[in-house]
Amino acid sequence: AQRVTQPEKLLSVFKGAPVELKCNYSYSGSPELFWYVQYSRQRLQLLLRHISRESIKGFTADLNKGETSFHLKKPFAQEEDSAMYYCALIQTGANSKLTFGKGITLSVRP
Amino acid sequence: DAGVTQSPTHLIKTRGQHVTLRCSPISGHKSVSWYQQVLGQGPQFIFQYYEKEERGRGNFPDRFSARQFPNYSSELNVNALLLGDSALYLCASSLAGVRTEAFFGQGTRLTVV
């Protein structure tokens, strides 16, 4: 069965510091990976997906199939990045079932 | 566009009761999925419906059921409520049934006492 692991619950950094939110997955096929974000008092929303290879709000994530990782990175954190971040995957050829990690709280201090 | 709307926003029920949660997808979206999010955990998949047919079911007991209506709105029903059913229930809609972006509602906070 597929699994998504986010090993840390909380990451606290100062504004301008680099950020890396870790995500590892286990799945035998070729999954599609996502990062979702939930800002305070807002709904869960898609931040980025690996197939689009975009940089959203300065965040990037590269799928490393060898290490089965999909870490989220940003070189210079901003206070408005403070939020809950969830890594998720969809398995190949299936429905749209998302398997989420437990999430990590990012706190960016001024 | 109001996005995905869920009702009610909050609900308190007693153990053993039944509850119905409702979801209206974004206009044009034909797929609706339901997730349960317990405090401190990520959302966990319960059901997916596409074109009014069940396309996927998570590891939840038969007390949980759902359906999708001709207008693509959906209901999640939970029978014989347990304390452990207390959670945030999220609905997500997407254009198609497979691997398309999911848009989430604000959720229904269910408390079972």
What single string gives the DSSP state of each residue in chain A?
--EEE---SEEEEETT--EEE--EEE-SS--EEEEEEE-TTS--EEEEETTT---BTTBEE--BTTTTB--EEESS--GGG-EEEEEEEE-TTS-S--EE---EEEEEE-
Predicted pLDDT at A1: 77
| Cβ contact A100–B105 (<8 Å) | no
Which residues of chain A neighbour B106 with C-beta distances below 8 Å? Answer: 43
Predicted local confidence at residue A91, as pLDDT: 75
Name which of A6, A32, A43 is nearest B99 (Cβ-Cβ): A32
Judge whether residue B27 has pLDDT over 70: yes
What's B84's DSSP letter? Answer: G
- Summarize the confidence of residues B42-70 as an average pLDDT: 94
Mutate to test the interface with B, among A96, A98, A104, A105 (most CBs of B within 10 A): A96
Q: What is the reported pLDDT for B97?
A: 61
Residues of A in contact with B4 (CB under 8 A): 43
Nearest-CA distance A93 → chain B (Å): 7
The pLDDT-based confidence of A93 (bands split at 50, 70, 90) is low
Q: Residue B17 pLDDT > 80, yes or no?
A: yes
User: What values do phi and psi take at B83, rounded to 5?
Assistant: -55, -35
Name the phi and psi angles at A8, rounded to 5: -110, 145
Query: Distance between CA B34 and CA B32 in Å, rounded?
Result: 7
Per-residue model confidence (pLDDT) at position B87: 98
- The encoded tokens of residue B16 equal 């053993």
Query: Does residue B98 belong to the interface with chain A, where contact is any CB pair within 8 Å?
Result: yes
pLDDT of residue B33: 95
Residue B99, pLDDT above cutoff 80: no
Lowest average pLDDT, out of A93-102, B16-25, B30-39, goes to: A93-102
**Tokens 């197939």 belong to residue:** A51
Is B1 in the A-facing interface, judged by CB distances under 8 Å? Answer: no
Average pLDDT on A78-104 reads 89
**Residue B59 pLDDT exceeds 70:** yes
What DSSP character marks residue B26? P
Residue A100 near residue A57, CB atoms below 8 Å:
no
